[in-house]
Structure 1
Amino acid sequence: MFALFTRLADLTTYSLLGLDPGSRLAEAVHFFIEDTTKIFVLLVVVVFVMALFRSVLSPERVRRSLEGRSRGLGYVLAVTLGAVTPFCSCSSVPLFIGFLEAGIPLGVTMAFLITSPLVNEVAVVILASVVGWKLTVVYVATGLGVGLAGGILIDRLHLERWVEGYVWNIRLGAVAIPDGALGGRARIRSAWGEVRDIVGRIWLYVLIGIGIGAALHGYVPEDFLARVAGPANPFAVPIAVLMGLPLYSNATGIIPVAEALLAKGVPVGTTLAFMMSVVALSLPEFIMLRKVLKPAMLVFLAVFLSLSFVVVGLLLNALFV
């Protein structure tokens, strides 16, 4: 199925533009055209399908599905729902308050919020089309594991004191997340509206990511990346995580960069650690969560996620030698 995008890139790069197949420019242009067409087509299709799904599984229904569950089942449901309900940063605060005021434990709530940006169902489909299902399954399992571990650790350390006091004083139902019933046509209109909204918000990040990936693919020598981020450098994984901290992108936008890094021989663990750092340690998400979390909790989250990504990267590098 994806061969169509390769043929389109071949036609545009070599026939229409007349570029030399062996040149660095041709490699970069071919990468850019193929990934741009493939990612945006998949983006529209997957966002539309998942928007239809989310019109049934709304934030309020997610909250109700977690309410009253045992802690063990709550953790499993939290990371699972976090993986299939990637609500945007603007939903983080009402979701957080809604979960806690419904009596859902803080650890279960945080497990959901950690997993949601890491495991994005749109990005999962695109990632699978780029690097294959084997690495995609590894990425998903890793994201679920980090979310689960984070929630359990927060629960065991009893970090409720690092939640802003006003959150605990909100009465049940005071912060209701709308859960309106929609008919079939209304759901389709809503889904297309979500496509326009999401694609409209992230298209620039996606193009920037593809552009960076194309530059890496066409112009950065393999021996340079091998020296900086290859298995011979014992500090490659921590450096990759630190490099991801100041950057901001959603999972979809960073996939072309990860694809180019893997193609240049950067180890799997180093690449995925960098990808997770960019996605999960985003400044906008932390700014939103500051409204409900004290600085100590934000620092804890940043340290926990950074260390988790380093450990994951080192383990995956050891496994995928």
Structure 2
Amino acid sequence: MSQSFDIAVIGATGTVGETIVQILEERDFPVGDLHLLASVESAGSSVAYRGKNVRVREVDTFDFSKVNLVFFAAGPAVTRSYAPRATAAGCSVIDLSGGLSVDQAPNLIPEVNGALLSGLAKPFQVACPSPGATALAMVLGPLRDLLDIRRVNVTACMAVSSLGREGVTELARQTAELLNVRPLEPRVFDRQMAFNVLAQVGVPDAQGHVPLEKRMVDELRELLSLPLIKVGASCIQVPVFFGDSLSVSVQTASAFDLAAVGSALDAADGIDLVDAGDYPTPVGDAVGQDAVYVGRLRAGIDDACELSFWVTSDNVRKGAALNAVQVAELLIKELV
């Protein structure tokens, strides 16, 4: 493509923002001018891009009419504050924060519901779902025509990078403290995270559900175009730096052909199906990779309508940054 596009990345100093910049370079995205933006605290730092260090500037003073497209990779409050300014300036928006409602910005995964973009008005305003919902929709998407899915139960083992660089730093600090037999004072998490598993990610509501669980349920229904599907979600925090893992059970209306399920996943874009007898892990397989890895594919022990499997993927890369860039690759075709 000969045409170039001027791009802004908000949250450019965070783990996801930096990975977006890296993937733009890796995939040779047709970037004209690249504007890296962050809060006043992070402004003045720099991020490497195409052999140069690009200076990060303060988002509050940025003129969005300078760019065609902006990635929002900061918090929801930042998106809600600046996305209206961006679209008013004619700039298309890709939000990774969950800060916009589905009516404002439908969730998009190119491999699952990429055709959705053609029905939207310019300037585009679309969202990337949470990493857990992205990984699960990537797996269930190829199975929609094969299985009559009635219910999905997922236990999502979330890496500490789901909290950004702060979570990664905290796990490293806690690990060092414990290995050096020093007293541990939790800071980011409400208790010891190193060598431990926490039963929830975030603060639960009156019914006991954390926001990320409710977000995952809503996003999965939207992405699969199955608004009535029953979904149970539990998000737990595990002492892993990068890479989310999901233990999934799917209830179908009738018995299924497990070999056909495996064939459908093996043929799907973006899926790496691990051979029976083996299984993928975040550290050994997923981290730094573009694929969503699936293993332990099996029918229920005593229920022919139950399908269970294990999923792992890089939550920062495919779960967020790569999906956002892939969405942008679709979007710019509509902007030409």
Q: Which interval holds the TM-score relative to the shorter structure? A: under 0.3
> Relative contact order (alpha carbons < 8 A, sep ≥ 6): 1 or 2 greater?
1
- The structure whose residues are more often strand, as a share, is 2
TM-score (norm 2): 0.22
